[in-house]
Structure formats: structure tokens, C-alpha cells
Structure 1
Amino acid sequence: MDYPKRVPGVGLLNGKFVDENPIAGTPGSLIPATWGNAVTQEILSVINSAGLLPSEDDNGQLLQALQEIVTKASPMSSSVTNVSASKLLTNDDLGLVLINAVSSAITVSLPPANKDLGVRDVVLRRIDNAGNRLVVQASGTDKIKFHTHLAADGYPFFVLMGAGDWWHLRSDGAGAWWPVGRFDGTPLGRPVFETTTAFSPGGYGALNGAVLSRAEWPWLWDHAKVSGMMWTEATRVGAEGGWSSGDGALTFRGPEGRGEFLRVLDEGRGIDPGRNPGVVQRDQNRAHIHTPTAVAVGEGEANGAIFQTSVWSMRYTFPYQLVGTTPVGTGLSTDGGAEARPHNVAYPGRLKLI
């Protein structure tokens, strides 16, 4: 749109409209109806497309409409939505969604990722630190494209765990939400040490061999199935560091690591041959010999001596008397505890669940 410069006799001065000047006797500019209607209709189209109701008394509607359109056209809206109960998000809710699940478990459902929605972004952030389950659910057959190395189509939902956990999603307008950022991208199934007994946000559980639901943790179950560390409950004894198939239908079991030292799998090096991943190795000392010094041989009574055999003996001098013979293998004293271990510090173990 521009001034009607090509209209004959419109009376523009320096390319712009001017008022009539009766004193100077100069006429004002003429505004053709076609041009005036066109300008007005163009402005009204912008106002209407922003969802505003045109008003003759409001001269700021065009700017307001432009701001609204730009906000909606950007993948990331500047809106903030607070949620404290299960909710189906609308297109207008997309932006920053703050979710509080302190009172109960919550499911927040995303709008359909279809052509009407187009390409839109949303950041979903948990603000409470309660243990209630918080699920972010895709609409219908839509999928959220995370852990696609396990399931190419992604999964229909994910969970936010702990205060501060957040995911940034982008819809593609074709049935999918794509993660473009998240609070903690530590790989799924990884064991980690913590310097706190509390659970850090981002998707962590205890490394305690817990029984889990396949329906609630489908990505973790898929990870377990391809891990090469899967056992049945019946064959799990001695392989508690791996996964188990649980009841065979609805559950599975995670690795148990409490009280254990972790060791890198040999994988053909030959230092610790024949080990399977996740299999427990009981404590053991390296084989060795203690060589005594023989000071006398024979059988009989000795003052301050112990005889190791009844015929051929080696004598060890101690500050007490022993009369007779001592059977082979007799110990003089014991030292140590229930296991062989190095000097160590104990940290809580955690497992990345999502």
C-alpha cells in the first residue's frame, strides 16, 4: 500500500496528503473512495486475523494485532501457562508451561501435532519436588520422538521427574513432537554415583533392583531387551547386576548395585576372562603362600613350640607353652572381616530411567 500518487488531481504535497487552507486559498488533497476503502480494508484484515474486534475508538489496534500475529507465528510463544491438575493443552497454551504435581499425579496432554497447529514449540517444566508421577502425553496416535534408537516412532508419553526437570518440544505438523532440549540428557540406563541421598531431577531412580512396570517405562524395557544383560527371575541369582524379565508379561526388574564395587567388563582383554555383563563376582584374595621358617623338627614335648605334624614338624616359637602335637592347618589367630575390600567411600547409586 502507498499514497495514491498516480491518481490525477489528488492534490498530494511532497507525496503526502494536505488539508485545505482557506486563507491561502489552496485546496486540500482528495482521497479517492477506492483508495480509502483499500487502506481501511487492509488494516481491518490485519486486525481480524489477530482475533481482535475492530473498534473506531481504539487507534492502537493495528500494533496490537501485529504483536499478536508475530507471537503466534513464532514457534515459541511468549505465553506462560500454570498447571496444577490434569489438563489438555490448547494451541494458545503453548509457550512455557509450569506444572505443579505436589497434590496428586498429573497428566498433561499435548494438542494434536497436525497441520492446523503447524510448527510450534513448548517448554514443559516441573516446579514441585513431590514423588507424584507427572506424565506428558501426546494426542491420539501422535508420538514424541525420543529414544528413537530403541523405537523409531518414539513413544506416546514421557515423565517429568523432580523440581526443575524440563523438556523443550517442537511439533512438525505431521503427528510428531521432537525434543530439541531437555534438563538432563544423560544416556538411558546409565548408573551414576551421587553425593546426596536425595534424588536429583532429570529422571533418576535407585540402583536397587526394583520391579518396574513395562507399561509405565516402555523405553527402559526396550533398553533392557537389547542390553545383552537380560535374565529371567529364576536365573537372575548371581547376575543381579543385569536386568530381568520380571513376571514375563507386565513387569521387569532393574539392576541391583547396592553395596557392590563396579568393574569394567573384560571384553576379550584376558584380565578377567569369561565374565558376562551384570554377573556378580564374589570377594576373593589372590592365591598366595606364607612360608614359615623351620627351627626344629621331630615329635615330642616342646616349651613354647607348636608342631605342625605329628611326625615331621616345623617349630614356631611363641610366648606360651604347648605340649604335644598340632594338626596340619591349625590356625594361630584370625584377622579381617566378612569380605576382602580396598579402602573406600560409599556413595548412593542411581539409575537413569528416561
Structure 2
Amino acid sequence: MDYPKSVPSVGLVNGQFVDENPVAGTPGSLIPAVWGNSVTQEVLGVITGGGLAPSEADNNQLLKAILAIIGKINPMYSVITRLAASKVLTVEELGLVLIDASSGAATISLPPANVALGVRDVIVRRVDNSGNRLVIQAVGTDRIRFHTHLSAVGYPFLVLLGSGDWWHLRSDGAGSWWPVGRFDNTPLGRPFFETTTLLSPGGYGALNGTVMKRAEWPWLWDHAQQSGMLGTEATRAGNEGKWTAGDGALTFRGPEGRGEFLRVLDEGRSVDAGRVMGAFQPGTIHSYAMGANGAGAVGSRWSDSLTAFGADTREESQYVSGLSNGGPIFPAGTSFQMDAASTLLHSFKSRPRNIAYPGRIKLI
């Protein structure tokens, strides 16, 4: 569009409108109907193009329409929304959404991912580290398409764990929100060590055999069922590294790893044959003959210490069968026996020198 140059009577000066000047006796510019209607149609074209119905009562429609059109071309635009409680997000609030759940558990609901919304982006980011549960919820039958290797349709919600945890989601206009990026993409269920007792953001929990609700962690329950290492609570003793079915209806339990060494599963190599994934294995017993009593034995029978030979006698007490005379059990955890030739035998369990780090597991 342009100034109404085709209507000379309007009084344009240098091609632009001017005000009336009574002193100079010059009239102001007139706005012809054809030009006014043209301007109105131009504006209405933008409003309707943005998916809005024209309304005389709304003076912000042009801006809303422009934002909607930009959103269709570039689904992410510069909007920052700050929340401190549960809320259903509006279309205008989509952008960077900063959420503080320090005052209590909160649920943030996304707009419907329908044709009217089209392709839109949102980044949801947690700013507090309170530990309160923070849920990002899709509405109705919409789904968030993450961990589709476990469930092809995705899940109705996700959780943000720890300050700084964030997900970048994109709607497809057909009922789904798709992850574009997130703070941490470490695979679900992976155990690892940390150098802090704090839980890092990004979806981590302690590797401590926690009992969880299936309804609150549906993707983790699906992972447990498909893992090949799901057991029952009744058979958990000796299989603490497995998932369990919890109460069989509403709960399940994660693996326990505290205080344990982790070993690579044999999987057919026959180095550690017969092992079941997640099963416990006791320490190995080592026996040493130190010489007959009175003929070079170190110390006196039944009370020798192996500390000088590198044994850590703080191991738990262990009765060693299969050696003659049975042998007494000392609180230090070292067994001493004599065989038929009065040879002094030392039996103890050993472990390599090590450093203890907290164990963690990826929960989402």
C-alpha cells in the first residue's frame, strides 16, 4: 500500500499528509474513503492471517497476529515467562518458561498441541533445587514423545529434577510434543559414580533400591519390565542389583548398589560363568600355609595376624569350611586352622585398594 497519490485533492505535501495551517491559510490533508478502507483491509489481512477474528474491542490484535505468524515461521520467539505455582500455559507464554517450585509441588500444563497451535516451541527450565516434584504435563490425550523405545506414543508428562534441568519441546499440531533438546541425554537407567553427595540436575537419583510409584515414573517402570532383570520382592535377597515388581500393583523398586563393587556380566565368556544379571556374589576366600607350629610359623597358633602380609582384617567374619580342624572364627574376620601335619593355615577374604564414591542412576 502507499499514500493516496491517485487522489490529488487530498493535499499531500512532498507526498505526505500535512496538518491544516490557519495562519498560512493552507488546508490540511483529506483522507479519502478508498484509502482509509485500503489501510483497514491491510491491517485486517494480518489479523485474519494470524488466525484471529477481528474485534473492535481488542486493540492488541495486530501484535498478536504478528507474533502468531512469526511463530509459524519460527516456532521459538523471545518470550520469558516466570512461574512459581501450578499453571496452564497460554500460547502467548510459550518461549522460555522459568519455574520455581520451592514453595511446593507444581504441575505446569502445556497448551493443546492441535492444528490451532501448529508448530510451536517451549523451553521449560527449573530454577530451584528444593526437591519438590515438578511435573510438565500434556493436556487431554496429548503426549510428550520421549523414550519412545519403551513406549511408541510417549508419555503424558515428564519431571524436571534439580535446579538447571530443562527440556526444549516442539508441538507438531497433531497431539504430540517432541523433545528437541534437554539438559542431559544420558540413557535411562544407567548407573554411575559421582564426586558429590548432592544429586546432579538432569534426572538423577541415588542407587539405593528406592521403592517408587509406577504412576509417577511410568517410563522407568517400562524400562524395568523390558530390562530382562526384573525380579520380585520375595526373591530380592541376593539379587539386590535387579529391579523388583514392588507390591505387584502400584509400586516397583530400583536396583541397590550402595557399598558394592560392580562387575561386568559374563554374557557367555565363561570367566564368571553362571552369574545372573543383578545377582550378589560374596568375596573370594584365600588360604595360605605359613609353616608348622614351632617350625618357622609366624607367631603362635590361632592368633597370628596377617596385617603385615597386606590382609585387611576389617572384613566381615567368615567361617571357612573344607579345611581340617574347622578353625576358630575371630572378630577380625581372619580364620586360622591347622591341618593334620600341624601346618598353620591362614584364610582370609581380600579386596583391592579402592575409593568410595556415591552411586547414582538415571531416572528420566
Q: TM-score, normalised by structure 2?
A: 0.75
Work out the CA distance in 1 between the residues paired with 2:144 and 2:46: 34
- 1:209-248 mapped onto 2 (5 Å cutoff): 209-248=209-248
Work out the CA distance in 2 between the residues paired with 1:137 and 1:343: 47
Local SS of the residue matching 1:234? helix
2:351 corresponds in structure 1 to 341
Local SS of the residue matching 2:246? coil
1:193 corresponds in structure 2 to 193
1:274 corresponds in structure 2 to 274
Work out the CA distance in 2 between the residues paired with 1:249 and 1:123: 35
The answer to whether residue 117 in structure 2 is matched with residue 117 in structure 1 is: yes
Query: Per-residue deviation at 1:4?
Result: 7.6
1:106 corresponds in structure 2 to 106
List runs of 5+ in structure 2 lacking aligned partners: 19-28, 302-337
Say if 1:106 and 1:343 are closer, same or farther in 2 by CA, change over 3 A. Answer: same
The answer to whether residue 170 in structure 2 is matched with residue 167 in structure 1 is: no
1:82 corresponds in structure 2 to 82
Give yes or no for contact 1:194–1:349 (8 Å, CA) kept in 2: yes
2:307 corresponds in structure 1 to none
Say if 1:80 and 1:113 are closer, same or farther in 2 by CA, change over 3 A. Answer: same
Local SS of the residue matching 2:129? coil
2:96 corresponds in structure 1 to 96
Local SS of the residue matching 2:235? coil
* Residue type of the alignment partner of 2:202: G
Query: Per-residue deviation at 1:340?
Result: 2.0
Query: Per-residue deviation at 1:89?
Result: 0.9
Local SS of the residue matching 1:223? helix
Work out the CA distance in 2 between the residues paired with 1:161 and 1:319: 58
Comparing 75-84 with 203-212, greater Cα deviation is found at 75-84
Say if 1:131 and 1:330 are closer, same or farther in 2 by CA, change over 3 A. Answer: farther
Q: Deviations over 1:5-32 (max 9, x none)?
A: 8x69999x9x96799xxxxxxxxx9987
Query: Per-residue deviation at 1:331?
Result: 7.2
Query: Per-residue deviation at 1:225?
Result: 0.4
1:328 corresponds in structure 2 to 340
Q: Deviations over 1:155-204 (max 9, x none)?
A: 00110000000001111111111111110111000001000000000111
Query: Per-residue deviation at 1:328?
Result: 2.8
Local SS of the residue matching 2:119? coil
Give yes or no for contact 1:71–1:78 (8 Å, CA) kept in 2: no
* Residue type of the alignment partner of 1:328: A
Q: TM-score, normalised by structure 1?
A: 0.77
1:350 corresponds in structure 2 to 360
1:26 corresponds in structure 2 to none
Local SS of the residue matching 2:202? coil
Give yes or no for contact 1:146–1:178 (8 Å, CA) kept in 2: yes
Query: Per-residue deviation at 1:3?
Result: 7.1
2:316 corresponds in structure 1 to none
Local SS of the residue matching 2:76? coil
* Residue type of the alignment partner of 1:241: G
Query: Per-residue deviation at 1:53?
Result: 8.3
1:260 corresponds in structure 2 to 260
Query: Per-residue deviation at 1:263?
Result: 0.8
* Residue type of the alignment partner of 2:270: G
Give yes or no for contact 1:236–1:244 (8 Å, CA) kept in 2: yes
Q: Deviations over 1:274-296 (max 9, x none)?
A: 1111111111046x76485xxxx
List runs of 5+ in structure 1 lacking aligned partners: 20-28, 293-304, 308-314
1:298 corresponds in structure 2 to none
2:208 corresponds in structure 1 to 208
Local SS of the residue matching 1:241? coil
Work out the CA distance in 2 between the residues paired with 1:317 and 1:36: 114
Work out the CA distance in 2 between the residues paired with 1:62 and 1:219: 42
The answer to whether residue 138 in structure 2 is matched with residue 126 in structure 1 is: no
Query: Per-residue deviation at 1:77?
Result: 2.8
Work out the CA distance in 1 between the residues paired with 2:70 and 2:273: 62
Work out the CA distance in 2 between the residues paired with 1:353 and 1:278: 18
- Paired residues in the alignment total 319
Computed over aligned residues only, the root mean square deviation of the Cα atoms, in angstroms, reads 3.8
Query: Per-residue deviation at 1:46?
Result: 3.4
2:293 corresponds in structure 1 to 306
- 1:131-170 mapped onto 2 (5 Å cutoff): 131-170=131-170
* Residue type of the alignment partner of 1:306: N
Q: Deviations over 1:295-323 (max 9, x none)?
A: xxxxxxxxxx737xxxxxxx4467889xx
Local SS of the residue matching 1:201? coil
Query: Per-residue deviation at 1:82?
Result: 1.1
Q: Percent identity?
A: 60
Q: Deviations over 1:62-82 (max 9, x none)?
A: 996786455544311311111
Work out the CA distance in 2 between the residues paired with 1:176 and 1:205: 28
Work out the CA distance in 2 between the residues paired with 1:120 and 1:320: 81
* Residue type of the alignment partner of 1:34: V
Give yes or no for contact 1:4–1:10 (8 Å, CA) kept in 2: no
Query: Per-residue deviation at 1:103?
Result: 1.2
- 1:178-189 mapped onto 2 (5 Å cutoff): 178-189=178-189
